[in-house]
Amino acid sequence: MAVYLDNSATTQVAPEIQQTLMEVVANYYGNPSSLHRIGGEAEKLMARAREVAARFLGVKPDELFFTSGGTESNNLALKGAAFQYQSRGKHIITTQIEHAAVYQVCKALERDFGFDVTYLPVDHNGVVSVQDVEKALREDTILVSVMHVNNELGSVQPVEAIGRLLKKRPKVLFHVDHVQGVGKVPLDIKGSGIDLLSISGHKIHAPKGTGLLYVREGIRLYPLLHGGGQEEGLRSGTENVPGIVALAKAIRLAKENEAQHIGHLLKLKQILLEGLADIPGVYINTPLDKRITAPHIVNLSCPGIKPEVLVHALEEKEIYVSTTSACSSRKDQVSRTLEAIGLEGPRLHSPLRVSLSIYNTVEDIQYFLQTLRDILPHYQKIMRV
C-alpha cells in the first residue's frame, strides 16, 4: 500500500476523471476545427469545458486559454506581456521564490531581450511584502508576477493586496501563478485585480499536459505559438480535447468541494505538524501561522542527513516524498526559496517536502510519522548528527 506524499510534484488522476478521459479519447476523436459533425462534437465539448471552467473560476469563458500546463501558461503570460507591451517599458517585478517557470523566464528576458527585472526578497516566513512591491514600481514597469502559493514552503503571498495596489496602476499588468493554490487556498480572481493567472491540470488530479491561462478581457498578449489560429490566435495547435475536458472537470471538483477539501487537508496537516514536533532532529521550515500557509505543504529539515538518503529510505517503506521541488531535486543545488527565507548551514542542505492531497488519510500520516521515528535515529547515528 503506497503512501504518496508528493502531491505538489504531481497528483494521481482522479477516478472520475479517468472515466471521462477514456470516454472522450474513445468517442470524440474529431479535430475541433473541422467543419463536419465529428469536428463539431469535439468543438462542442471544448466550448462546454470552457464554460464549466469559467463558471467555477468566476470568470468569463472567453477569458480562458487552454495550454499544455503551468510552465506554458507562465511563459505565455510573461513573454506574451513582455513582447506585447515592451514599447511601454521594459521593467518587470517578481519575487526571489517564484517557480522556475517564472524565474527562468525572467532570467531569459533579462539576458536575451534587454528587460530589467527586480526580484523582491521575502521575510523569514517566505512572504513578500506589499510595500516592497509598491517601492519597486517605476514609470517603465509593465508587469508584476507573484505566485499565489509557494510550491516548496506553502507560504501564501498577499496577491489580493498587491492586486488592490496595482488597480491604481492600470498600465501595469498583474500575473499570478495560481498552480499550487487551486482548490487549496480560495482566491477571488475577478475581485483581486488580477490580469493574468496560470493553472495546471496535473496538480489538481487531471492528467499532465493540461492547463490554462486566464487573460482578463481587453488584454492582448504576443503568442508563443503561431499556426492555425486556435484559441483566438493566442495559442495555435490542435486542441487536446480529452485533456481540456478533464481539466474542466478537475476544476469543478476542486472548486465545488473546496471548503470540505481544505478542512480535510488542514486536519492531516495538523496531525503531521504535531507528530513532527516530537521527533528529535526535525525542524519545520514551513511557517506555522495558518493565515499565511497553504493546507497541503509541509517543508522540514533533518540537519546532517542528505535528504536524498531519506527519500530513498522512505521509498523502501513505500512512502513517497521529495527533497525540495520536484524540478530541482535532480540538480545538486540548494533551494532558492529556502535561501530566501534565510536558512543556512545544515538546515538549508537537508530539506524534505511532504505534500498532501484529498486522497491521503489519517493512517497515511500516522504511518509516515511512525516510519520517520523508526529510521531517523539509525541515520543520525551513522552520520554522527
Please give the residue ranges that form the binding site for another protein (CB under 8 A): 20, 23-24, 35, 37, 40, 43-45, 48-49, 52, 62, 245, 248-249, 252
Coil vs helix vs strand at 285: coil
**At its nearest, how many Å lie between another protein and the CB of residue 47?**
9
23 versus 134: smaller Cβ distance to another protein: 23
**At its nearest, how many Å lie between another protein and the CB of residue 37?**
7
List the grid coordinates of 231: 484559441
**At its nearest, how many Å lie between another protein and the CB of residue 46?**
11
17 versus 162: smaller Cβ distance to another protein: 17
3-state helix, strand, coil in the chain (%, to 5): 45, 15, 40
Question: What is the distance between the alpha carbons of residues 4 and 138, in angstroms, rounded to a whole number?
Answer: 45
**At its nearest, how many Å lie between another protein and the CB of residue 244?**
11
Question: What is the distance between the alpha carbons of residues 64 and 56, in angstroms, rounded to a whole number?
Answer: 12
245 versus 262: smaller Cβ distance to another protein: 245
Residues 6+ apart with CB under 8 A from 144: 92, 93, 94, 133, 137, 162, 166, 172, 173, 174, 175
Question: What is the distance between the alpha carbons of residues 173 and 195, in angstroms, rounded to a whole number?
Answer: 6
126 versus 183: smaller Cβ distance to another protein: 183
Is residue 327 part of the annotated active site? The answer reads yes
* Sheet strand arrangement including 351-355: 283-284, 297-301, 351-355
164 versus 317: smaller Cβ distance to another protein: 164
Question: What is the distance between the alpha carbons of residues 205 and 131, in angstroms, rounded to a whole number?
Answer: 36
**At its nearest, how many Å lie between another protein and the CB of residue 222?**
23
Give the count of beta carbons closer than 10 Å to the beta carbon of residue 358.
22
Coil vs helix vs strand at 60: coil
37 versus 171: smaller Cβ distance to another protein: 37
191 versus 377: smaller Cβ distance to another protein: 191
**At its nearest, how many Å lie between another protein and the CB of residue 24?**
6
4 versus 214: smaller Cβ distance to another protein: 214
**At its nearest, how many Å lie between another protein and the CB of residue 43?**
8
Number of H helices, E strands in the chain: 12, 12
Q: From 243, 242, 208, 227, select the one nearest 41 (Cα to Cα).
A: 242
Bridge partners (DSSP) listed for residue 176: 146, 197
Question: What is the distance between the alpha carbons of residues 93 and 81, in angstroms, rounded to a whole number?
Answer: 13
Distance of CA 222 to the CA centre of its chain: 23
Coil vs helix vs strand at 40: helix
Residues 6+ apart with CB under 8 A from 130: 158, 161, 162, 165
Active-site pick, 161, 327, 348, 369: 327
Contact 236, 226 (CB under 8 A): yes
**At its nearest, how many Å lie between another protein and the CB of residue 165?**
18
Q: Which residues are catalytic?
A: 327
